[in-house]
Amino acid sequence: MKNEKLKMKNENEKIEVKSAIKVENLVKKFGKGDSEITVIDGASFSLDEGEFVALVAPSGAGKTTLLMMIGCVLEPTSGKIEIGGDVVYDGKWTVKDDRELRRKKLGFIFQSHYLIPFLNVEENVSLLPYQNKEPASVVKPRVKELLDYLGVGSKLHNMPSELSGGQNQRVAIARALANKPSIILADEPTAALDISRSVSVVKLLRKIAKEQKVAIVMVTHDDRLLPYCDKILAIKDKKIEIKDKVDEHII
């Protein structure tokens, strides 16, 4: 089986764990000549589906840059990226249609929810599936189910302005899940929330990773959220250092 690991659960049962992301020796430079800066210099790591990891580093260390390269939004300078076992970048983009790849395999969550203010909750979450030409008969029940799953099912027909910050962030998470991605990239998704709402969003992301078999990479500055993650990726000397998780007791 290509790019798939088999892990033994017990003697009789095998669980397939699929690779979600594999990054090899990724490099990103900005600028040219005297003004050239190297932000990422040989980052390598891999994640399986269902893993929920934090990406931590000081401001300006390249977290967003790395996330946007994995998200196929920003072109690396060199290296290799595999998404769901498929090579998408190997010195150059290898996919025919990178926009289609983003629409179908990736979900993004940001610090602000970026919901469209003149569309209601259902319409905001349905945008990408419709862009992917999925029929309403499939999209409508899935969006309702997702919003119920995220605890905002009763807000289906409300406008974003009628929801609280935490509720809007849940809608933004539903939107990120609506195209059934194999990876969610979350750039400081809790930065605008207080600690109790941050913990509830992070617990939700963890649950989503496990139940929906999605790999989630979350950039965060808040050490209090790290115990909820499976692993911590730190950018150190422009490379990735992987630390295994911390304190099991909090979860």
Shortest reach from residue 59's CB to ligand ADP, in Å: 4
Q: Which residues bind ligand ADP (CB under 6 A)?
A: 30-31, 39, 57, 59-65
Nearer to ligand ADP, 57 or 232 (CB): 57
Give the separation between CA 75 and CA 87, rounded to whole angstroms: 14
Nearer to ligand ADP, 43 or 147 (CB): 43
Instruction: State yes or no: residue 64 binds Mg ion (CB under 5 A).
Output: yes
Residue burial 211-244, b: 16+ Cβ < 10 Å; e: rest: ebebbbbbbbebeebbbbbbbbbbbeebebeeee
- Which entry of Mg ion, ligand ADP, none binds 62, CB below 5 to 8 A by partner kind? ligand ADP
Closest residue (Cβ) to Mg ion? 64
Nearer to ligand ADP, 18 or 29 (CB): 29
Nearer to ligand ADP, 66 or 177 (CB): 66
CA atoms within 13 A on the CB side of 215: 22
Binding-residue total with Mg ion (CB under 5 A): 2
**Nearest to residue 42, comparing CAs of 63, 28, 55?**
28
146's tokens: 């997702």
Give the separation between CA 66 and CA 40, rounded to whole angstroms: 7
Residues that bind Mg ion (CB under 5 A): 63-64
